[in-house]
Amino acid sequence: MIHKFSMNGVNVVMDIFSGAVHVVDDVVYQIVEAYEEGDRAKVLAQFGGTYRPEMLQEAMDELDGLKEAEMMYTKDEYAPVLDQINARNPVVKALCLHIAHDCNLKCVYCFAEEGEYHGHRSLMSSEVGKAAIDFLIANSGSRKNLEVDFFGGEPLMNFEVVKEIVAYARAIEQEKGKNFRFTITTNGILLNDEIQAYINQNMHNVVISLDGRKEVNDKMRPRAGGQGSYDVIVPKFQKLAESRNQTNYYIRGTFTRNNLDFMQDVLHMADLGFKQISVEPVVGPETDSYAIREEDLPRIFKEYEDLAEELYERHKEGGARDFNFFHFNIDLTGGPCVAKRLVGCGSGTEYLAVTPEGDLYPCHQFVGLEGFRMGDVFTGIENWQLREKFSACNVYAKESCRNCWARFYCSGGCAANAYQLEGDILKPYEVGCEMQRKRIECAIMIQAKAMAEAAEK
Partner 1 sequence: MKHVKTLNTAMLKHTMAKGGCGECQTSCQSACKTSCTVANQSCENR
Residues 79-98 that bind partner 1 (CB under 8 A): 80-81, 84-85, 88, 91, 93-94
Q: At what angle do helices 297-317 and 430-456 cross, to 10 degrees?
A: 30
3-state DSSP assignment of residue 7? strand
Q: Which of 97, 191, 345, 367 binds partner 1 (CB under 8 A)?
A: 345
What's the chain's length in residues?
457
Please name the helix (run of DSSP H) or strand (run of DSSP E) that holds residue 250, with its range, or none: strand 249-255
Q: Output 449-454 pairs: Cβ under 8 A, ≥24 positions apart.
A: 449/8, 449/9, 449/10, 449/312, 450/312, 450/315, 450/316, 451/23, 452/10, 452/23, 453/316
3-state DSSP assignment of residue 98? strand
Q: Which of 131, 172, 190, 207 binds partner 1 (CB under 8 A)?
A: 207
Number of residues interacting with partner 1: please give it, by CB under 8 A: 92
Closest CA to 286 of 154, 443, 431: 431
Please name the helix (run of DSSP H) or strand (run of DSSP E) that holds residue 40, with its range, or none: helix 40-47
386 vs 443 by CB, closer to partner 1: 443
181 vs 231 by CB, closer to partner 1: 181
Q: Which stretch binds partner 1 (CB under 8 A): 34-42, 233-241, 273-281, 384-392?
A: 273-281
Q: Give, as ranges, the residues between 209 and 238 that touch partner 1 (CB under 8 A).
A: none
Q: Is residue 407 within the footprint of partner 1 (CB under 8 A)?
A: no
Q: Give, as ranges, the residues between 50 and 69 that touch partner 1 (CB under 8 A).
A: 58-59, 62-63, 65-66
20 vs 232 by CB, closer to partner 1: 20
What is the rounded distance in angstroms from the CA atom of residue 417 to the CA atom of residue 430?
Answer: 10
Report the nearest approach of partner 1 to the CB of residue 399 (Å). Answer: 18
Q: Is residue 247 within the footprint of partner 1 (CB under 8 A)?
A: no
Q: Give, as ranges, the residues between 125 and 184 that touch partner 1 (CB under 8 A).
A: 143-145, 147, 149, 151, 181
Report the nearest approach of partner 1 to the CB of residue 259 (Å). Answer: 15
213 vs 438 by CB, closer to partner 1: 438
358 vs 432 by CB, closer to partner 1: 432
20 vs 189 by CB, closer to partner 1: 20
Q: Phi and psi dihedrals of 387, rounded to 5?
A: -60, -40
Please name the helix (run of DSSP H) or strand (run of DSSP E) that holds residue 100, with its range, or none: strand 100-101
3, β-bridge pairs: 14
Q: Quick check: bond before 153 cis, omega within 30? A: yes
Q: Give, as ranges, the residues between 284 and 343 that touch partner 1 (CB under 8 A).
A: 326-327, 329-341
3-state DSSP assignment of residue 41? helix
Q: Which of 104, 158, 186, 254 binds partner 1 (CB under 8 A)?
A: 254
Q: Give, as ranges, the residues between 19 and 48 that touch partner 1 (CB under 8 A).
A: 19-25, 27-28
Q: Is residue 105 within the footprint of partner 1 (CB under 8 A)?
A: no
